[in-house]
């Protein structure tokens, strides 16, 4: 270890080894996407939804640049670009929006739910998209045979970071969930999961006799799962702060668990549901032992590559803490620094409890300082956004794009090795290259 | 409000970033929220840049709006000055900050930094990326040269006799199409006729270099989208002439040399006679006969679109059936060019409008940007990328200029390659029902995936087909539905698939015009005789 030079120690207290993680806060330039980028995977999950960003050309440009999503001929997202005349009050923004929505829905008869997505400019000019959504929904109610539900949420970078866009979107769905009869139990799994992963979890819950199980968001935005005081909620992703509050307010019980990454995380996550359903330990072990053992076997190939290697996470997707826990505890990696855009204690406590003592945990960002620390620490692997990856590679540092972690199925037992492989690949590649 | 699915250009501050990222010793501060930092990846991913663009964002958040975003900007500017020590600072606002009216540029200018601070007014809600680049470049040049502007009426600078003339190459930028290689090629071209390059800007130039602009005898305006306003200003203020021909294509490169010859008094006949391009012979060689009259659709930035049209028409023997641009600034030039080919230019930044026109015109080759590549892929039409915006694969490792004589060689290969090869095409016409070669088989020299992409089902993965995603169908003729007799339909299928669409369209048009409702084999051949190939 090349040590974390004097300049680093000067403004970051790393905490004493053997104690709970000390959280250090930084403020400066944040090199993260805004919540709009969530649309990239949300629109793939919700097959009958369209996402209309009300914003600027920057929003449109971000959406098409962020993930190289131009493979879609006519995607189910678009931007209503505010123009000079909208801002100068020469045009009534609401009338303009109505016009855009009408044209859009006329083109796309396949759309059942339309999300109006707020952006930085729409928030600064205080465009009330919730009101617009209500009005447009009412207008739709009169249209025969083509009823579209219009909802609104914010993906603005003033308020949301990257994956928080999904939180805002799902939060907008919560009021739509029908009330479950009093005392009727069900399990609600919140967070976009790949279809294959959803099916795997469904089979495990079945075997544990936990159910009925619903997943939110689902592919059909018209089939809403019921929600009531008998509902227990498991979060599949760590970024559902707003949604959690709304679900709790509707009487749902939020289960506290680590997130289902790696064998340990998946076991802990399933166990939280099993406890809530009173599943016996014997039953739980009988159901999970085989897939857990299989996952562990699959992991070995990659832990050989990862063990002892040093990793730094730049704050980005909010998955940093759970993934750091997985890589440290199941793959034997050494955590140099774990950055997170913001720390949601409620969601993260079970994860924080599992993190190795004395880890350098940084909330917020000052990207220039963080890059200086990386240059000094020279970790074997840095998890970062697309804008920073090549410049770090050019310094001879290996990187992993964080956006891949939200686009790839990484949850659960069967994907544990795939998850490890994502981190092992840059190291394996680096070992292969002789140029 | 403008409904936008894909956008050709980014917002104007991306243009400002391109200027900053092109230059040395320049840093740009953008007053912008955190999400706007995505723009870094355009440089580091598409161009595989090894350094971050020299841009710092204030990344204000909702909580800052209640307090003092102006103070945040000042702290940021001060921090940038201390950390990066630039020779020149650009300060501008992205769309959201423009609404806050912090006057970022003016504010930074008033801070008394010991370096030139150039405030940028970027008009995020009315302008776009290329304008932003042009405006930023202009402001930088003006700021660095205003002290040198000669008195009105002073005579233009005289070249020292015996000294080789010097030229500035203006306009190449980061994220410009093939700028890196064009600069090398044009430099070679000029050196060969005895002209030295004084400097290239903005690409690779420092503020100190910009200050040397007046030392050159003339400016080459290589990319008018970026450099035209600077060149016009230099012409007015410094009496520095502008060479306006853009050397893309054989004819244009020769015109470029002639224009410089006339300007400098250099005899360029030897350079013109040197046969430095293989394109003329490749185009005249018999294999290229099959290129004759290929219907080509062109849509890109004005510079590359206009150049492509001339190459297609005069140097490859294609027929230009469509020409357009998304850049409104140079729309007039594109309109004039289109008129030369007897067509009307399409000026739009609406991707769907371009797509509709391509579908309607049924070209055999599309030359465009990454957008047109997607359109062409969806419609199953061969395509080559000729201008920005482009993806990472259009930023090749090899030397691949568009300008100069080597550029013409690159262009011949790149544009002809996606087409069916000459003899292959003839054999297909001969043996129509070839069991190994049919709609589902790709041209033999291209990877097999080329045909699967022709199926619209591939575009929206695992999605129910939307009406828009289906292949373009012929609009029913007025005065009754058109039907194909079974044997006519069978005969149509014997026509090679790459011209079948055109044959169907022509036949239906022919039938509709004559009020024929049932198309027979006879109608098919009547139409063929009427339209020719």
Residues 210-239 of B with CB under 8 A from A: none
Is there a contact between B11 and A71 if contact means CB atoms under 8 Å apart?
Answer: no
Residue keyed to tokens 């009050």: A89
HSE-CB for A322 with a 13 A CA cutoff: 32
Tens-place pLDDT, residues B392-412: 989 999 999 999 999 999 999
Report the C-alpha gap between B264 and B267 in whole angstroms. Answer: 9
For A192, the enclosing helix (H) or strand (E) is none
Reported confidence tier of residue B460, pLDDT bands at 50, 70, 90:
very low
Looking up tokens 């909208």, which residue turns up?
A86
**Block residue for tokens 């960002």:** A365
Q: Catalogue the E-assigned strands of B376-436.
A: 383-385
pLDDT of residue B498 exceeding 70: no
B23: left (phi over 0), alpha (psi -120 to 50) or beta: beta
* Residue among A71, A27, A83, A79 nearest A52 (CA): A79
B83: chain A residues, CB-CB within 8 Å: 368
Q: Tell whether B114 is within 8 A of chain A (Cβ).
A: no
B452 pLDDT more than 60:
no
**Test the A interface: residue of B7, B10, B41, B356 with most A CBs within 10 Å:** B41
The partner residue sitting opposite A158, judged by closest CB among B40, B52, B61, is B61
Q: Is the CB of B127 inside 8 Å of chain A's CB atoms?
A: no
CA–centroid distance for B120 within its chain: 25
The reply to whether A146 touches chain B by the CB within 8 Å rule is: no
pLDDT exceeds cutoff 60 at B459: no
Residue of B nearest to A219 (CA): B463
Cα→Cα distances A231→A175, B100, B212, Å: 15, 44, 73
| Predicted pLDDT at A18 | 46
Place of tokens 């840093």: B27
Question: Computed from CA positions of residues A369, A375, A379, A381, in that sequence, does the dihedral angle turn out positive or negative?
Answer: positive
What is the distance between the alpha carbons of residues B322 and B342, in angstroms, rounded to a whole number? 10
B48 interaction partners in chain A (CB closer than 8 Å): 390
Q: Let me know: does A53 contact A77? Beta carbons within 8 Å.
A: yes
Residues 404-423, chain B: which have Cβ within 8 Å of A? none
pLDDT computed for residue B477 by the predictor: 41
- Per-residue pLDDT tens digits for B5-53: 889 999 999 999 999 999 999 999 999 999 999 999 999 999 999 999 9
At the topology level of CATH, where does B279-419 sit? Answer: Rossmann fold (3.40.50)
Residue B490: CB partners within 8 Å, gap ≥ 6? Answer: none
Q: How confident is the model at residue B379 (pLDDT cuts 50, 70, 90)?
A: confident
pTM here is: 0.89
Q: Within an 8 Å CB–CB cutoff, is residue A9 touching chain B?
A: no
What's residue A419's pLDDT?
A: 97
Instruction: Given CATH 3.30.559.10, say whether it is the number of domain A186-284.
Output: no
Nearest to A242 by CA among A50, A38, A61: A38
B241-279 pLDDT, tens digit per residue, is: 999 999 999 999 999 999 999 999 999 999 999 889 999
Q: Is residue B445 scored above 70 in pLDDT?
A: no
Four-residue CA torsion sign, B260, B264, B268, B269: positive
B104-109: long-range pairs with CB below 8 Å, 24+: B104/B29, B104/B31, B104/B73, B107/B70, B107/B73, B107/B74, B108/B29, B108/B73, B108/B74, B108/B77
Residue A281 phi/psi, 5° resolution?
-60, -40
CA A421 to chain B, closest CA, distance in angstroms equals 22
Q: B130 in contact with A at a CB cutoff of 8 Å?
A: no
Phi, psi of B118 (to 5 degrees): -105, 110
What is the least distance, in Å, from the CA of B354 to any CA of chain A? Answer: 13
CA distance A52 to A36: 10
Least confident of A135-149, A364-378, B168-182, B340-354: A135-149
In this complex, do A391 and B49 lie within 8 Å of one another by their Cβ atoms?
yes
Q: Hey, is the C-beta of A80 within 8 angstroms of any chain B C-beta? A: yes
Mean pLDDT of chain B: 88
* pLDDT at residue A3, as a whole number: 36
Please say if the pLDDT value at position B437 is more than 70: no
> Is A2 an 8 Å CB contact of chain B?
no
For testing contact with chain B, the best of A49, A51, A58 (most B CBs within 10 A): A58
Is any Cβ of chain B less than 8 angstroms from the Cβ of A141?
Answer: no
Would you give the distance in Å from CA B43 to the centre of its chain?
A: 17
In 3D space, the residue among B193, B201, B182, B150 whose CA is nearest the CA of residue B405 turns out to be B182
Structural class in CATH, domain A35-160: alpha beta
Helix/strand number for chain A, H first, E second: 18, 14
Q: Which residue has the tokens 């290929």?
A: B294
Give the per-residue pLDDT at B180.
96
Low pLDDT (below 70) residues in chain A: 1-20, 67-73, 142-146
- CB contact residues (below 8 A), chain A span 378-407, against chain B: 385-391, 394
Q: Encode pLDDT of B204-250 as tens digits.
A: 999 999 999 999 999 999 999 999 999 999 999 999 999 999 999 99
pLDDT above 60 (res B471): no
E strand intervals along B15-102: 26-31, 55-57, 88-93
Helices A241-249/A164-173 angle, 10° precision: 20
- Residue A16 Ramachandran class (φ > 0 left, ψ -120 to 50 alpha, else beta): beta
**Does residue B132 sit at the A interface (CB-CB below 8 Å)?**
no
Q: Which of A54, A46, A309, A37 is nearest to A165 (CA)?
A: A37
CATH 1.10.8.550 in chain B is located at 483-531
Contact between A382 and A297 (Cβ < 8 Å): no
- Per CB-CB distance under 8 Å, the chain B contacts of A29 are 37, 56-59, 76
Best residue in A56, A61, A386 for a mutation probing chain B (most B CBs within 10 Å): A61
Quick one: fold of A6-32+297-432? Rossmann fold (3.40.50)
Q: Which numeric CATH code is attached to B166-273? A: 3.40.50.1980
Comparing B486 with B454, the larger pLDDT belongs to B486
Q: Is A100 on the interface with B (CB under 8 A)?
A: yes
To which residue do tokens 């702290």 refer? B75
The predicted structure's pLDDT at residue B422:
61
Residue B464 has pLDDT above 50, yes or no: no
Predicted local confidence at residue A29, as pLDDT = 93
Average pLDDT over residues B375-380: 87
Length of chain B: 533
Does the beta-carbon distance from A389 to B44 stay under 8 Å?
Answer: yes
Is residue B470 pLDDT above 60, yes or no?
Answer: no
Is the confidence at residue B125, as pLDDT, over 80? Answer: yes
B66 contacts chain A (CB < 8 A)? no
Can you list the positions of beta strands (E) in B371-502? 383-385, 483-484
CA B204 vs. chain centroid, Å, equals 21
In CATH terms, B483-531 corresponds, of 1.10.8.550, 3.40.50.970, 3.40.50.150, 3.30.300.20, to: 1.10.8.550
Burial call A121-156: b when 16+ CB within 10 Å, e when fewer: bbbbeebebeebbeebeeebeeeeeeebbbbbbbbb
A93 at interface of B, judged by CB pairs closer than 8 A:
yes
Catalytic residue among B68, B267, B287, B439: B287
Respond yes or no on whether the N-terminal peptide bond of residue A208 is cis (omega within 30° of 0). Answer: no
Q: Is ipTM strictly over 0.85?
A: yes
Q: CA A132, CA A135: separation in Å to the nearest integer?
A: 5
pLDDT at residue B462, rounded to an integer = 35
Which has the closest alpha carbon to A205: A45, A412, A415?
A412
pLDDT computed for residue B167 by the predictor: 98
Domain boundaries defined on chain A: 6-32+297-432, 35-160, 186-284
In the prediction, which pLDDT does B132 show? 98
B506-515 pLDDT per residue, tens? 899 899 999 9
A74 vs B35, B37, B466: nearest CB: B466
Q: Using an 8 Å Cβ cutoff, are B219 and B243 in contact? A: yes
Of A32, A56, A78, the CB nearest to B124: A56
Give pLDDT, residue A407.
85
- 8 Å CB contact between B13 and B92: yes
For this structure, is B287 an active site residue?
yes
CATH fold group of domain B12-147: Rossmann fold (3.40.50)
Option in A30, A54, A74 nearest B59 (CB): A30
State residue B290's pLDDT score: 86
Q: From the centroid of its chain, how far is CA B23?
A: 21
Return the pLDDT at A90: 76
Nearest to B33 among A82, A157, A391 (CB): A157
């Amino acid at each position: 270890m090349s040590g974390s030079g004097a300049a680093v120690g000067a403004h970051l207290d790393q905490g004493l080894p053997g104690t709970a993680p000390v959280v250090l806060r930084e403020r400066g330039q944040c090199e993260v996407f805004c919540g709009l980028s969530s649309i990239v995977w949300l629109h793939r999950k919700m097959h009958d939804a369209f996402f209309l960003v009300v914003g600027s050309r920057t929003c449109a440009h971000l959406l098409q640049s962020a993930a190289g999503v131009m493979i879609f001929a006519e995607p189910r997202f678009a931007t209503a670009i505010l123009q000079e005349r909208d801002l100068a009050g020469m045009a009534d923004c609401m009338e303009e929006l109505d016009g855009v929505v009408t044209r859009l829905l006329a083109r796309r008869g396949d759309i059942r739910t339309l999300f109006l997505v707020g952006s930085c400019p729409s928030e600064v000019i205080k465009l009330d998209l919730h009101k617009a959504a209500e009005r447009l929904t009412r207008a739709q109610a009169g249209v025969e045979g083509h009823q579209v539900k219009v909802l609104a949420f914010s993906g603005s970078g003033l308020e949301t970071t990257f994956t928080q866009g999904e939180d805002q979107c799902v939060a907008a769905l919560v009021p739509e969930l029908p009330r479950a009869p009093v005392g009727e139990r069900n399990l609600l799994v919140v967070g976009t999961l790949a279809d294959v992963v959803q099916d795997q979890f469904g089979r495990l819950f079945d075997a544990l006799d936990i159910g009925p199980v619903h997943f939110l968001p689902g592919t059909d935005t018209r089939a809403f799962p019921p929600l009531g005081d008998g509902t227990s909620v498991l979060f599949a992703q760590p970024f559902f702060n707003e949604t959690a509050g709304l679900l709790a307010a509707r009487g749902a019980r939020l289960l506290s668990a680590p997130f289902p990454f790696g064998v340990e995380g998946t076991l802990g996550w399933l166990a939280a549901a099993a406890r809530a359903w009173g599943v016996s330990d014997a039953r739980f072990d009988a159901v999970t032992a085989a897939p857990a053992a299989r996952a562990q076997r699959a992991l070995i190939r990659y832990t050989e590559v990862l063990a002892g290697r040093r990793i730094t996470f730049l704050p980005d997707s909010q998955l940093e803490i759970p993934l750091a826990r997985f890589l440290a505890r199941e793959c034997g990696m050494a955590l140099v620094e774990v950055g997170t855009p913001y720390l949601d204690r409620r969601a993260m406590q079970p994860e924080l409890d599992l993190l190795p003592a004395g880890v350098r945990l940084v909330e917020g960002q000052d990207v220039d300082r963080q890059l200086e620390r990386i240059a000094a620490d020279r970790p074997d692997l840095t998890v970062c956004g697309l804008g920073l990856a090549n410049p770090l590679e050019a310094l001879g540092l290996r990187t992993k794009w964080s956006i891949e972690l939200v686009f790839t199925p990484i949850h659960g037992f069967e994907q544990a090795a795939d998850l490890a492989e994502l981190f092992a690949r840059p190291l394996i590649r680096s070992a292969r290259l002789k140029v | 409000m403008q409904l936008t699915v894909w956008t050709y250009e980014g917002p104007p501050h991306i243009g400002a970033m391109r200027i900053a990222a092109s230059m040395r010793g320049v840093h740009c501060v953008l007053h912008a929220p955190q999400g706007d930092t995505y723009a870094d990846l355009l440089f580091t991913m598409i161009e595989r840049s090894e350094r971050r663009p020299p841009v710092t964002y204030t990344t204000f958040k909702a909580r800052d709006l209640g307090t003092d975003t102006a103070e945040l900007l000042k702290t940021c500017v001060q921090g940038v000055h201390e950390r990066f020590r630039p020779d020149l600072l650009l300060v501008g606002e992205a769309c959201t900050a423009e609404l806050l009216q912090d006057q970022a540029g003016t504010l930074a200018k008033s801070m008394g930094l010991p370096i030139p601070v150039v405030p940028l007014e970027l008009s995020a809600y009315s302008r776009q990326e290329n304008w932003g680049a042009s405006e930023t470049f202009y402001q930088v040049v003006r700021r660095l040269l205003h002290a040198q502007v000669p008195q009105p009426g002073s005579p233009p600078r005289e070249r020292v006799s015996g000294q080789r003339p010097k030229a500035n190459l203006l306009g190449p930028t980061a994220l410009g199409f093939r700028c890196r290689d064009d600069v090398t090629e044009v430099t070679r071209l000029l050196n060969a006729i005895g002209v030295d390059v004084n400097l290239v800007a903005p690409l690779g130039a420092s503020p100190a270099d910009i200050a040397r602009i007046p030392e050159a005898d003339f400016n080459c305006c290589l990319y008018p989208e970026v450099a035209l306003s600077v060149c016009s200003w230099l012409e007015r203020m410094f009496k520095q002439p502008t060479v306006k021909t853009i050397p893309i294509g054989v004819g244009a490169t020769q015109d470029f040399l002639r224009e410089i010859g006339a300007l400098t008094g250099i005899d360029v006949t030897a350079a013109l006679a040197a046969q430095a391009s293989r394109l003329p012979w490749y185009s005249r060689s018999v294999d290229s006969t099959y290129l004759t009259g290929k219907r080509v659709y062109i849509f890109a930035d004005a510079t590359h679109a206009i150049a492509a049209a001339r190459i297609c028409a005069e140097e490859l023997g294609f027929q230009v059936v469509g020409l357009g641009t998304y850049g409104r600034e140079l729309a007039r030039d594109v309109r004039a060019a289109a008129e030369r080919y007897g067509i009307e230019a399409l000026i739009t930044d609406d991707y769907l409008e371009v797509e509709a026109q391509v579908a309607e015109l049924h070209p055999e080759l599309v030359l465009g940007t990454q957008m047109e590549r997607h359109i062409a892929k969806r419609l199953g039409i061969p395509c080559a990328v000729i201008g920005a915006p482009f993806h990472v694969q259009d930023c090749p490792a090899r030397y691949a200029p568009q300008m100069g004589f080597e550029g013409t060689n690159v262009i011949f290969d790149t544009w002809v390659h996606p087409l069916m090869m000459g003899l292959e095409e003839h054999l297909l016409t001969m043996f129509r029902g070839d069991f190994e070669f049919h709609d589902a088989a790709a041209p033999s020299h291209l990877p097999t995936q080329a045909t699967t992409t022709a199926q619209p089902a591939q575009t929206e993965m695992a999605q129910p087909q939307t009406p828009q995603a289906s292949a373009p169908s012929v609009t029913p003729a007025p005065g009754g539905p058109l039907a194909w007799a079974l044997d006519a339909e069978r005969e149509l299928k014997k026509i090679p698939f790459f011209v079948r669409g055109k044959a169907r369209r022509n036949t239906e048009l022919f039938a509709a015009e004559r009020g024929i409702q049932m198309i027979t084999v006879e109608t098919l051949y009547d139409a063929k005789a009427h339209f020719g190939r």
